[in-house]
Amino acid sequence: MPAIMQNFEFHNPTRVIFGAGQIAALARHVPAHARVLMLYGGGSIKANGTYDEVRAALAGLAHPLLEFAGIEPNPRYETLMRAVQLVQREQVDFLLAVGGGSVVDGTKFVAAAAVYDGDPWDILKTGGKVVQAALPFGAVLTLPATGSEMNSASVISRAATQEKRAFMSPHVYPRFSVLDPAKTLSLPLRQVGNGVVDAFIHTTEQYLTYPANAPVQDRFAEGLLQTLLELGAQVLARPDDVEVRANIMWSATMALNGLIGVGVPQDWATHCVGHELTALFGLDHAQTLAIVLPGILQVRRAAKRDKLLQYAERVWGLREGSEEQRIDAAIASTRAFFEQVGVPTRLSAYGLGAEAIEATVAALEAAGLTGLGERRDITPGDVRRALQLSL
Ligand code: NZQ
Ligand code: ZN
């Protein structure tokens, strides 16, 4: 049967406010009479001036601007529940996330949990199905990577049980997101590389599957991948170039705002496995993806054959040699790119070995994640083989 594009609805309600000086626009987009809570992380926004700009933009609010600080990378349920209590106690009715993906994701959870009647962990346990409302919120993004600034997903970690779970809900799209590329110049290079790799792999999760007669989505995805390859090299050569940062920022947003994923099969196995690696061993999100993806592509090379050949030719310009050689070269080039932008792709680089593979496989089994990928047929055994290729 010929592949066909699937039916879809596409609606993305987030207003993007992009460019230098745009934090000032908060004055127009945060309701002046709302009781506003600003949520942020461990202090980077104070060091790079973002905090002061946000405060200045919101000086005209009718009520004092409240704050919740200390949302950690891979935001924790336990921490966020303290923010939920603050929201309820102070009758907050608008949230403002200022930071990276963890702060935005954490704010999404707080927005949903603050008005949820029941055990808030249900929100993660059901993947968001129980969410029927959420407080409105906006974001000021300081780390391009996750796409959280323009999507309806959130990933939360629970320290007590070493779980990392995602939820999605149309109620948690940000009302707006301010993207000022200059605010990303203070990022450590490790986070810059992480962001490029995360955006790259968001794109492959929606592209490297099987053909679905979706040439628009395919070429948008290939355009993002090629752009990220160029930008990855440029940002290493010119880390102070705000134009490069601007394009990284927009690429990361476009990679996971729903557009390239409409009507096509989606994989997400690399992300599922990666979340377990973060939950068990504390690796950065993108570090886990860089370890997992090359092995998954190898193990799935038959099921992904058509798209791997397309990827090899259109993204990497590989036209010589046999089909098998081109697929091998594309996977090797992908791994080399992650290494080039400073994200190691081997478990050993993080001090992990075969025991980490067994623990990851056991965690996937315990969570019932035994049929992953675009065809829901990636088994724990496949995951083990994939990870063994990245020892
Ligand atoms: O906490 P602060 O002090 O702000 O420091 C942060 C943090 O230590 C720092 N940082 C952020 N902006 C900075 C900065 N440092 C200097 N200058 C700046 N401008 O960077 C560190 C990492 O921040 P974090 O927000 O954790 O990184 P990222 O944006 O990569 O977010 C990762 C989280 O997002 C989830 C991941 O699983 C992980 O929990 N994801 C969310 C997705 C979504 N909502 O759609 C999809 C992704 O696949 C991903 O799973
Ligand atoms: Zn990701």
Domains and CATH numbers, the chain: 15-183 (3.40.50.1970), 188-388 (1.20.1090.10)
73 CA distance to ligand 1 centroid (A)?
6
Q: How is residue 282 written in tokens? A: 């504390």
Strand 153-158 and strand 163-168: the pairing is antiparallel
Q: Is 283 in the pocket of ligand 1 (CB under 6 A)?
A: no
Mutate to test the pocket of ligand 1, among 285, 289, 343 (most ligand atoms within 8 A of CB): 285
Position 59 scores a pLDDT of 98
271 CA distance to ligand 2 centroid (A)?
6
Q: How is residue 58 written in tokens? A: 């919101």
59 CA distance to ligand 2 centroid (A)?
35
Cα–Cα distances in angstroms (integers) from residue 210 to residues 5, 188, 213, 263, in the given order: 11, 36, 9, 12
Dihedral angle computed from the Cα positions of residues 134, 139, 141 and 145, in that order, rounded to the nearest 10 degrees: 20
Q: Are 341 and 262 in contact (CB under 8 A)?
A: no
Mutate to test the pocket of ligand 1, among 102, 148, 184, 202 (most ligand atoms within 8 A of CB): 102
Ligand closest in space to the Cα of 180: 1
Position 299 scores a pLDDT of 98
Residue nearest to atom 28 of ligand 1 (CA): 101
Find the radius of gyration of the CA atoms of the chain: 21
**φ, ψ dihedrals at 67, nearest 5°:** -135, 145
What gap in Å lies between CA 226 and CA 214, rounded to an integer? 18
pLDDT in tens, the chain (391 residues): 558 999 999 999 999 999 999 999 999 999 999 999 999 999 999 999 999 999 999 999 999 999 999 999 999 999 999 999 999 999 999 999 999 999 999 999 999 999 999 999 999 999 999 999 999 999 999 999 999 999 999 999 999 999 999 999 999 999 999 999 999 999 999 999 999 999 999 999 999 999 999 999 999 999 999 999 999 999 999 999 999 999 999 999 999 999 999 999 999 999 999 999 999 999 999 999 999 999 999 999 999 999 999 999 999 999 999 999 999 999 999 999 999 999 999 999 999 999 999 999 999 999 999 999 999 999 999 999 999 999 9
Other C-beta atoms lying within 10 Å of the C-beta of residue 57: 20
What gap in Å lies between CA 15 and CA 251, rounded to an integer? 16
pTM of the entire predicted model: 0.98
Position 1 scores a pLDDT of 52
Sorted by sequence, the CB contacts under 8 Å of residue 101 that are 6+ apart come out as: 143, 145, 146, 147, 148, 285
What gap in Å lies between CA 360 and CA 296, rounded to an integer? 14
Ligand closest in space to the Cα of 145: 1
Other C-beta atoms lying within 10 Å of the C-beta of residue 221: 28
Picking from 293, 322, 323, the residue whose alpha carbon sits closest to that of residue 386 is 293
Position 183 scores a pLDDT of 98
Position 134 scores a pLDDT of 98
Position 2 scores a pLDDT of 59
What gap in Å lies between CA 54 and CA 57, rounded to an integer? 5
Q: How is residue 379 written in tokens? A: 């088994």
Position 139 scores a pLDDT of 99
